[in-house]
Structure formats: structure tokens, C-alpha cells
Amino acid sequence: MTTSTVTAPPSDAAPRKDAVLDPARARLRRRLIRWGFVAPAVLFMLLFFGYPLVRNVVMSFQHYTPKTFFTGEAPFNGADNWSSVLQDALFGKALWHTLVFTAGSLLGQFCIGLALAVFFNRRFPLNGVLRSLILLPWLVPMVVSGIVWRRILDQDTGVLNTFLDTLGLGGHTPWLTSPGMALLSVILVNIWIGIPFNMVILYGGLQEIPKELYEAASLDGASAWRAFRSVTLPMLKPVITVVLVLGFMSTVKILDLILALTDGGPADATQTLGTLTYQNSFVELDFGAGAVVGNVLILISAVFAVFYLRANRTEGK
């Protein structure tokens, strides 16, 4: 006769000590876990964005020259850098050129990009191939695009003037060497570069709009233009916000394209805040003055982003 011993399972009435956590400790644990995931990103932002920003502000109040790199001495000069830069006529001209360049570029890029996005938002042969080809200007480095367009727009040997001369439309237009034409030419080149970005983002937004909305608008007798105004644009508003804000941030500080095309000339006709920062810092080696213009650029970008996002949020409510 065999006797077996059966061990009773632990009673649920007596839970283990670690099965029940104090609510306060549980909340603290969740917070620590969240901060553990967020900490690397916060550290990255502070190290690569926060510190340079603070350092740039401090530098704008110092007499910072190449000698400072060796001696470590940068005398505090108060608001001298700010007053000398802001009172300079070249700063006012650069600020105006920046506003014109940014507004013209954003308007052209957005309108043409939206038109192309609407055009490609339907099925037809070679749709994907054509969309891929349109992306090429966006994939080419900015400096390379600038050098290529400088050759195309050359007054004497440029492809564009040669083509216009062949058509009998005059082939000696000073696209980049005339103070009256240079800024317009740079704007047009920048529009060409920025169209693919706008088209891709807006095309993605169009793909997310439910087709049922267009069907309902059609049943109500809405024309194509009315459907575009009443359905497409309202549904695209969040995407449009992203496109315009990102476009503004990248355009207002542009430097490499202008340096490759005109180097800020002729006669400062294409001098912007970005090129003025470069000129003050790396041509005249006055890093304090360059920091002042850089801070103005940061301030303009921050003000635009805050006001635009707040206005868009208010309209959404």
C-alpha cells in the first residue's frame, strides 16, 4: 500500500509581498521608467542644441576674435556688438532680402508642390516613375545644385541664355550679375529645389483623405474647385502647417545655395541674414557680430513658429 502526500497550493488569501505594490511606489516607478526612455533625447538636445544656443547668446556680448581661441580671453563689451550690427545699413538690407527670399520661396514651393501633389493623386501610366524623377532636385546637395545653376544662368555661356538666343528672345540677360535680377534668380532656383519636399509631404496628406468625402461632395453637386476648397484644403491643414513651418525654418537661414550662386552679390543684392552671419564670422572674423545676426535668425524662426502654430490651433478649435 502506497501513501502519497499532496501539497496544497498557496492560498490566494495570502498574496506574496511583491505582488502588491504601494500606489506611491508604483507611480514613482512608472515615472522613472518614462524618464529613463526620455533622458537620452533630453541629453542630446541639451548637448547639441541647448549649449550652442546659450554659448551663441553669450558670445554676442563679447569681443570674440581668433585671438580668443588661443588666449581664452573674450572681454565683455555689453551691447556694443548689437548696436553696431543693428545700426548697420547692410543689416537692414539683409533683413529685407531674407524676408523677400523666404516669402517668395515658400509661396512658389508650396503652390507648385500642391499642384503636383493633386496631379499625382490619381492613377495614370508612369505615375510612380514621374514622381521619382521629380524628387531628384531634392536629393542633390545644395552646393551642387547652386554650381550647376550658376553655369546654366551664366550671362555669356549659360545654357538658358544660349537657348533664348536661339529662339530670338535675347540671350544676354544678366541673371546673376544684375542687382535687379540676382535675387529673383536665386528665389527661382530655391523654388526648384524645394518643390519635391512640398509635393511629397502634401501627396502623403492627400492619400489620407477619405474618398467618401469627395463622393459626398459630388452627390451634393459640388464642383471640383468647390470640393478642393471645402474638402481638400481643410483636411490638409495640419499637413500644410508642417510644410510651411519646416519650409520657413530651412529657407530663412539658407546659406550654401546663395554662396554657390552669387556669394551675396552683386553689390549685396542677395545678401541675407544667413550670408551676413557667414561674412561677419568667417570673412571679417568678428564672431561676436556673427553671433548677433545668428541670434536674430533664431528669434525670427521662434516667433514665426509660435505665432503660426498658435493661430492654427485656434482655428482648429
CA distance 77 to 85: 14
pTM: 0.84
Q: How confident is the model at residue 224 (pLDDT cuts 50, 70, 90)?
A: confident
pLDDT tens-place string over residues 87-138: 999 999 999 999 999 999 999 999 999 999 999 988 888 888 888 898 888 8
User: How far from 309 is each of 23, 119, 227, 248, 299, CA to CA, in Å?
Assistant: 38, 28, 26, 13, 15
Q: How confident is the model at residue 19 (pLDDT cuts 50, 70, 90)?
A: very low
CA nearest to 82, candidates 73, 72, 91: 91
pLDDT tens-place string over residues 32-85: 888 888 889 889 988 888 898 999 999 999 988 888 888 888 889 889 999 999
Domains of the chain in start order, with CATH, are: 93-316 (1.10.3720.10)
Mean of all residue pLDDT scores within the chain: 87
pLDDT tens-place string over residues 173-197: 899 999 999 999 999 999 999 999 9
Q: Residue 309: what pLDDT? A: 75
Residue 218 contacts residue 104 (beta carbons within 8 Å): no
Share of the chain above pLDDT 90, in %: 53
Share of the chain above pLDDT 70, in %: 91
The grid coordinates listed for 151 are 553655369
